[in-house]
Structures are given as C-alpha cells and as structure tokens.
Amino acid sequence: MSDNNLTLKINGKLFQMDADPKMPVLWAVRDMLGLTGTKYGCGAGLCGACTIHVDGKPARACLTSLSQVQGKELTTIEGLEADKLKRAWTEHNVPQCGYCQSGQLMSAAALLTTNSKPSDRDIDEAMAGNICRCGTYTRIKSAIKSASDQNSFTQHSDESSDNSRVEQEVTA
C-alpha cells in the first residue's frame, strides 16, 4: 500500500484518497472532496476561517496535515449539527460578509459541547483565534449566550451506521 493511500473519516463517512500525507486538511476537504464550507483565510492558523473539529476539538485545517488526522474523526461545517447555534447566529444578525462564519460556528460549537453555560470570559477565550473583519464580536457573543440557553449539540451528522464503507475514492 502506498504512503499516499489515505482513509479519512469526515462527517461520519469514510473517504479513500491518494494524496500527499503532508497536504493540509484544508485542501483535501475543499479541492478533493468539494466540501467548500471550510474557508482559506490566512494560511497561517491565525484567522480561524478554516476551523474544523478533530475528534471534537477545534483545529486549523490550514496547519493540520492529512498524516496528523489518520484514524481520527473530522467534522467540517457541512457535518456540524448545531441547529440551535446556527439559528441563534441568524437571529442575532451575526453574518455580514459570511466569510469567517464557518470557522466561528465550529469554534462556538466546540465550546458549547464542552461548556453548556459559558461565561463571557469563556467565550472570549474560545473565540480568540477567530477573526471577523466585519467586527460582529458582540453579536457573536450574544448568539453563543442565546444558544447556550437551549444547548443541544452533536459533533456531526452520521447518516450511515456502516462506518466501514468507503463513501468516495479521490485522487490528487
């Protein structure tokens, strides 16, 4: 078996791919799998636009290589089941340009999964690595607080109970 033959579990589905293990997860999910909700912002892990979950914890997809996520569960914005958070996001008019929103939502969902009643300080700490050029930080905090009042999150939508089935084979 080639070192480039990788299997990734993303949003509850298995994907077989022929890719360089050093490739950032960002490019694999966007370019190879067509999951374009994860955005490229700075490429240095500073803006948070590319935030995904790796085993339920937020990670920067632009800095995380495919080799680092072998055998781990990845969740992108497309697989995030956080309807209450997404609804709060809209109700509090958080989206402006929308570019950073998937990363913001992924970080907020990770926070609410581990802390159902976060304080302002908890929110500030969890969201510190996510930059919003539109400056909707107050709205983001309000939306997280609102969602925490009705918290119910799972990491991903798992449509298939057969996790051993390869959903798609892709090559670089």
CATH number for 88: 1.10.150.120
Residue 120 and residue 103 in one domain: yes
| Residue 158 within a domain | no
CATH number for 75: 3.10.20.30
Count structural domains, the chain: 2
b/e code 142-168 from CB counts within 10 Å (16+ = b)? bbbbbbbeebebebbeeeeeeeeeebe
| Per-residue pLDDT, 98 | 85
| Residue 172 within a domain | no
Residue 71 and residue 90 in one domain: no
Distance of CA 132 to the CA centre of its chain: 16
State the sign of the Cα–Cα–Cα–Cα dihedral 134, 111, 83, 45. Answer: positive
| Residue 171 within a domain | no
Residue 66 and residue 119 in one domain: no
| Residue 37 within a domain | yes
The two most distant CA atoms of the chain are separated, in Å, by 51
User: Between helices 137-148 and 83-91, what is the axis angle to 10°?
Assistant: 140
| Residue 110 within a domain | yes
Pick the last residue of a domain from 21, 55, 79.
79
The pLDDT profile of the chain, 172 residues, written as one tens digit per residue, is: 568 999 999 999 999 999 999 999 999 999 999 999 999 999 999 999 999 999 999 999 999 999 999 999 999 999 998 889 999 999 999 988 889 999 999 999 999 999 999 999 999 999 999 999 888 999 999 999 999 987 554 444 444 445 556 666 666 5
How many angstroms separate the CA atoms of 122 and 119, rounded? 5
How many angstroms separate the CA atoms of 95 and 83, rounded? 15
Residue 90 and residue 131 in one domain: yes
Reference 129, options 70, 4, 45; nearest CA is 45
Residue 12 and residue 46 in one domain: yes
Residue 40 and residue 89 in one domain: no
Residue 37 and residue 58 in one domain: yes
Pick the last residue of a domain from 51, 79, 107.
79
Residue 93 belongs to domain spanning: 83-147
Distance from the first to the final alpha carbon of the chain: 16
| Residue 154 within a domain | no
Residue 107 and residue 61 in one domain: no
| Residue 55 within a domain | yes
Reported pTM: 0.85
| Residue 46 within a domain | yes
Residue 75 and residue 88 in one domain: no
How many angstroms separate the CA atoms of 68 and 61, rounded? 11
